[in-house]
Structures are given as structure tokens and as C-alpha cells.
């Protein structure tokens, strides 16, 4: 009996020591450097004053330090509610990073070949020169297809519907395919939403699931990105930041509930800055991808574009987002172990993009 008591005490003591060891091995978190904080706040102030955005917010996360969150202005010009880190916002083309991630994961599973033509998978869409356009070319923006976003008729239809019209993905392709190609497949580069719409339809074709469900199953749920979702309705979950646009109607207009269907897998998702902070690092590290697919993901051409991924100033990897009412920048620098999540609640003059250009030199290239 005494032997059993000693044994039990030894087990408890060992567990206590292990627990203490784990606790003391936690990385030390220091206050954000005050001099750098002042410089970042000054940069945010400059962009906020010089732009016409109602609000702007910046999250700067450097490993080993408290996160810095700087917010200016309001998320709602009627209620005057301040910008806040808890707000949902439309991440626009940052959606592309999720679409590309899902495609590469399915390629790892043997369900997609990047060397296959898109017509091999989607013959029903009669894609111009689709037998020459590979899946890889779509992700790298090298297909030569016309970007439906630049079709004047689409813009007029959207305007005449009071921005409520729904555009199914096949209707977006029909618009794009009415136009001649910009260059021969694989012989140029042009950022193009049509490419990513096709990748979304590819996800659906090979899995038998909707594109958003594939993204939930492959990425959002496993990574516990619980505040990131597919913006399939006009309305955002609360609390949210309202988005505004001036240039379309010549006056400041609330664009929050404009139907986002015209972006599909190129830009329809919604998130928060904290979920985007988590995703920025995992995305830049090639989470869930084999070495071969990481090589595809980060094979940046001279234009600084990989497979649904952007590179800024060589060391910053991520993407930007532009949709009516919102501009966002989500980037990670592995050398500096630093994450940037920026967004403004207007896309006019791209305030978040301007802020990125100011912050990158401050934080180191």
C-alpha cells in the first residue's frame, strides 16, 4: 500500500514538473516597440487624412511582441460607430488565396493535374482556346482570357439593378468569352478574375460539391477560421463594417449590401482581421501543401504573382483585395516574422494599398 502511495506521488510530481516546464517554455511576449508604434500610427494618420475613406484599420503582428492595432475613423457614417477589430468585412480578392489553396490540395490528392487543359475538365463551357489553357496558367494569370470585370455591359446591368442583380458564374464566363483574348495562352500575364471563376467551377466539377463547401471542408474548418465565411447573401454577419463608394455614382454611397455574386471564387468571402492574421502566416508557409505544390504556389513570375498569390517587395507574401466598398491587404514576411492585415471601408483610391506602401519600408523589406 505504501509502495502504491509513493508511486502515485511520483507520478503527480512528474506531471507537475512537466507542466512547469511547458509553462516556462512559452515564448516571452514584449510590449510593441514604442518608436515603431509612433511611426506606424503616423503612416495610418497620413493615409486616413489624404484619402476619402470613412475608416481604416491596421493590424501589425511581430513575433515576440503584442499585436498593434491602429484604427481611425468610423465603420458607419450614420451611427458614427468607430472602426473595430471585431468587425466583419469583405476580403474581396483575398478570396483567391483560398480558391488557389483548394485547387493545389486537390492536385496533391491526384484529383486535379495542373498540366491538364481546363477544357479537359470543363468541356461544357466552350472556353476559347481552352484546350491550350492549363490549370496552372489560370492560377498564374497567364491564360490570356478577357477579364469580365472590365465589360461595360456588366457594369450597366449591375447599376440598373440597383446593384442587386445576381450573376451566376456561367454568366460571368459568357461575358468574358464575348471578347477576344488578350494574348496567346501562356505567353503573357494579366490579372484576371475570369481565371479564378474557372478554378471555382473546377473545384465543383472534380468534387461534386459547391466551391464554398470545398473551401469550408479543406481549409476553414480544419484551420478553425471560424469568423471567415462565404458571403452568399447581400448582408454581413454582425458586427460588421459598412463599405462605401464615391466614384460610381459621384457621391458617397453605401455599398455594403451590393450583391457580391459577380466575384464568385475570385472575391466573395468575408472575414475579420484576426482570422486574416492567422491565415496570412499559414498561407505564406504553404499549410497542408506538399513540397511540390508549395513550389507551384510560390513560383512567382517577374510580375510578382504565383499561384493565386502575390509578392510585395520580395519578402512579403499574400494578396490584396478590392471590391466596391472595401480595400484590403493581407501579407506575411517570414524573414521579419511579421504579419500585416489592413483594410479601409472604401475602395476609392485604394487607401489600404497606399498604407501598405508606407508600412513595408518601416517594417523592413
pLDDT tens, residue by residue, 87-116? 999 999 999 999 999 999 999 999 999 999
- CA–CA separation, 150 vs 192, rounded Å? 10
Is the pLDDT reported for residue 305 higher than 50? yes
Is-contact 85 69, C-beta < 8 A? yes
Instruction: Report residue 26's pLDDT band, with 50, 70 and 90 as the boundaries.
Output: low
> What's the pLDDT score for residue 25?
59
Judge: domain 34-363, CATH 3.80.30.20.
no
Entry pTM: 0.93
Nearest to 70 by CA among 98, 42, 95, 99: 42
Residues 31-48 pLDDT 10s:
999 999 999 999 999 999
Secondary structure element (H or E) that encloses residue 136, with its range: helix 135-139
Distance CA 137, CA 189 (A): 9
Domain ranges of the chain: 34-363
CA dihedral sign of residues 214, 215, 218, 221: negative
Which pLDDT score is estimated for 83? 98
Mean pLDDT, the chain, as a whole number?
93
201 with 169: CB under 8 angstroms? yes
Q: Which of 205, 242, 267 is nearest to 53 (CA)?
A: 242
Q: CA-CA-CA-CA torsion for 194, 205, 271, 289, nearest 10 degrees?
A: -100
Rounded Cα distance between 122 and 138, Å, is 13
Helix (H) or strand (E) holding 291: helix 291-297
Amino acid at each position: 500500500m505504501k509502495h502504491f502511495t509513493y508511486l502515485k506521488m511520483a507520478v503527480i510530481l512528474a506531471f507537475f514538473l512537466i507542466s512547469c516546464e511547458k509553462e516556462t517554455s512559452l515564448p516571452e511576449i514584449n510590449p510593441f516597440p514604442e518608436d515603431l508604434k509612433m511611426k506606424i500610427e503616423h503612416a495610418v494618420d497620413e493615409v486616413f487624412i489624404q484619402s476619402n475613406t470613412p475608416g481604416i484599420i491596421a493590424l501589425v503582428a511581430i513575433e515576440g511582441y503584442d499585436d498593434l492595432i491602429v484604427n481611425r475613423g468610423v465603420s458607419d457614417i450614420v451611427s458614427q460607430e468607430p472602426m473595430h477589430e471585431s468587425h466583419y468585412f469583405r476580403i474581396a480578392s483575398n478570396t483567391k488565396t483560398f480558391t488557389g489553396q483548394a485547387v493545389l490540395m486537390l492536385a496533391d490528392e491526384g484529383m486535379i493535374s495542373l498540366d491538364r487543359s481546363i477544357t479537359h475538365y470543363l468541356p461544357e463551357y466552350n472556353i476559347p482556346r481552352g484546350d491550350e489553357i492549363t490549370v496552372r496558367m489560370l492560377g498564374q494569370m497567364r491564360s490570356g482570357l478577357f477579364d469580365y470585370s472590365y465589360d461595360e455591359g456588366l457594369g450597366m446591368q449591375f447599376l440598373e439593378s440597383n446593384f442587386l442583380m445576381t450573376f451566376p458564374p456561367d454568366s460571368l464566363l459568357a461575358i468574358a468569352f464575348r471578347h477576344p483574348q488578350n494574348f496567346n495562352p501562356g505567353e503573357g500575364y494579366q490579372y484576371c478574375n475570369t481565371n479564378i471563376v474557372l478554378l471555382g467551377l473546377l473545384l465543383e466539377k472534380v468534387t461534386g460539391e459547391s466551391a464554398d463547401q470545398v473551401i469550408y471542408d479543406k481549409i476553414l474548418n480544419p484551420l478553425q477560421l471560424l469568423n471567415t465565411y462565404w458571403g452568399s447573401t447581400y448582408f454581413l454577419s454582425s458586427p460588421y463594417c459598412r463599405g462605401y463608394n464615391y466614384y460610381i455614382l459621384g457621391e458617397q454611397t453605401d455599398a455594403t449590401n451590393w450583391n457580391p455574386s459577380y466575384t464568385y471564387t475570385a472575391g466573395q468571402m468575408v472575414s475579420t482581421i484576426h482570422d486574416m492574421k492567422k491565415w496570412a502566416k499559414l498561407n505564406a508557409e504553404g499549410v497542408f501543401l506538399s513540397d511540390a505544390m508549395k513550389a507551384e504556389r510560390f513560383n512567382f513570375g517577374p510580375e510578382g504573382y504565383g499561384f493565386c498569390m502575390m509578392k510585395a517587395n520580395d519578402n512579403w507574401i499574400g494578396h490584396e483585395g478590392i471590391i466596391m466598398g472595401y480595400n484590403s491587404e493581407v501579407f506575411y514576411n517570414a524573414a521579419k516574422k511579421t504579419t500585416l492585415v489592413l483594410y479601409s471601408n472604401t475602395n476609392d483610391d485604394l487607401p489600404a494599398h497606399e498604407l501598405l506602401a508606407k508600412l513595408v519600408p518601416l517594417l523592413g523589406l
